[in-house]
Structure 1
Amino acid sequence: MEQFEYTLETFIEGFGWLAPLLFVLLHLLRPLLFLPVILVCVIGGLVFGFWEGALLSFIGLSLMSLVSYLLVNKFPKFRKKMSDLKNRMFSDRKISVGQVMILRIMPFVHFHLLSLYLMEMTKTRKEYMYYSMLGLIAPAIIYTAFGEAITEFPWYVSLTLFLVLALAYVVIGKMNQVRLNVGLTNPKKRP
């Protein structure tokens, strides 16, 4: 790992002032290269340090969210593929914005699938980008700061972290369901 880290740092430092731009571009090319978000953010932390790495990851992920929005709205085949994936993974399941934000923290949940959920929950591109960017703050910070540590945790610590996130996902879902049920009942229609 140390050799990889050194080689990567040398490679990126060779680009000088273009390195941050290339790193943001790596975020945009990440889906084509089949790289997980966590890996790219960890690389950002290793090469640029915590603050700059987190900021660059946030910018790259935000631009990727915009690209997702444009792909889904400009290419009906892409939207159909994403809808089919959504139906296979979460058939007949309604999730809240808060749950999408929790799922964004989980390392191997499909980025574009979560973007599709946000698109369906929002009315405009501006609203979509607001919630999308809000939901990208935590992963950019967590993955950049703790990405390397998370990948080196013992299996039981990783499992515990996953279970805590899953529990938060379920609790937010239940709270959202209660809110929806309360909002759907009409006190005027009671006998």
Structure 2
Amino acid sequence: MFEQLAEAIPVYIEKSGIIAPILFVLFHLIRPLLFLPVLFVCMVGGYLFGVIYGSIFSIIGLTLMCIIFYFVAQKFPNVLSRFAKLNKKMMKNGPLTMNQIMVLRMVPFAHFHLLSLYVLDQTNNFREYTKYSFLGVILPSIIFTSFGQMIVDLPLFYSVVLLFFLTVVFFGVRRKAIEKPAIIEWKKFFKTS
């Protein structure tokens, strides 16, 4: 059912004429309901509109998806509290930095909304969240739109090399944890007899 719908939507958008960009942006908004990866939708944009316009429309669609996600997350705060618990368990070395989140956005199998939760956790208000969400979808939109098919069709060796490269970049931009030095009292350090 969902597969047939996912195949039919791009054909319908292609035949819709002048309203095709609006339908494509809406396709981005219903993408989570169809369980489609961001990579697929961006590749459809590259096929239908070319790299430049497909990237622009994908940036608009993904940014709107982030904005909708922000309001849904604010409406259901129990989701955020569960995320905070999960985040504490998973991030023992400290929270992800914005640079790490942006690198993870470029990984095709990284969960888009989980990364949006990380952005939400790292920001203080709607304006800051929208800014970082917008900045975070620019590069993946361009890459997935122009090179999405190449990433999917890469031989296994090149896929492993690309994954290794993204892992090195991911850990290269992590936040360095600086611990406060322990303060030892003079009397305890030099025991008096």
Question: Going by fraction, where is helix more abundant, 1 or 2?
Answer: 1
* Distance of 1:12 and 1:99 partners within structure 2: 34
Pairing 1:146–2:158 present: no
Identity %: 40
- Partner of 1:51 in structure 2? 52
Higher alpha-carbon Rg: 2
8 Å CA contact 2:10–2:44 kept in 1: the answer is no
Any gaps of 5 or more consecutive residues in structure 1?
1-6
Amino acid at match of 1:165: L
Any gaps of 5 or more consecutive residues in structure 2?
1-7, 187-193
Query: Helix, strand or coil: the match of 2:109?
Result: coil
Amino acid at match of 2:157: Y
* Distance of 2:10 and 2:61 partners within structure 1: 19
Query: How far is 1:76 from its partner?
Result: 2.4
* Distance of 1:168 and 1:11 partners within structure 2: 39
Query: How far is 1:161 from its partner?
Result: 0.7
8 Å CA contact 1:66–1:129 kept in 2: the answer is yes
Matches within 5 A, 1:128-147: 128-147=129-148
- Partner of 2:96 in structure 1? 95
Q: CA RMSD in A?
A: 2.3
* Distance of 1:24 and 1:16 partners within structure 2: 14
- Partner of 1:20 in structure 2? 21
User: Which digits, 9 at most, give the CA deviation of each residue in 1:8-60, with x for residues without a partner?
Assistant: 77532321111111110111111110000000000000111110100000000
* Distance of 1:84 and 1:34 partners within structure 2: 25
Amino acid at match of 2:102: M
* Alpha-carbon distance change, 34 to 10 in structure 1, aligned in 2, over 3 angstroms: closer
Pairing 1:74–2:83 present: no
Query: How far is 1:75 from its partner?
Result: 1.3
Query: How far is 1:158 from its partner?
Result: 1.1
* Distance of 2:151 and 2:51 partners within structure 1: 15
**How many matched pairs?**
175
- Partner of 1:11 in structure 2? 12
Amino acid at match of 2:75: K
- Partner of 1:127 in structure 2? 128
Amino acid at match of 1:113: L
* Distance of 1:134 and 1:18 partners within structure 2: 26
Amino acid at match of 1:114: L
TM-score by length of 1: 0.83
TM-score by length of 2: 0.82
8 Å CA contact 1:82–1:112 kept in 2: the answer is no
- Partner of 1:113 in structure 2? 114
- Partner of 2:158 in structure 1? 157
* Alpha-carbon distance change, 85 to 37 in structure 1, aligned in 2, over 3 angstroms: farther
* Alpha-carbon distance change, 22 to 9 in structure 1, aligned in 2, over 3 angstroms: closer
* Distance of 2:111 and 2:159 partners within structure 1: 19
8 Å CA contact 1:104–1:114 kept in 2: the answer is yes
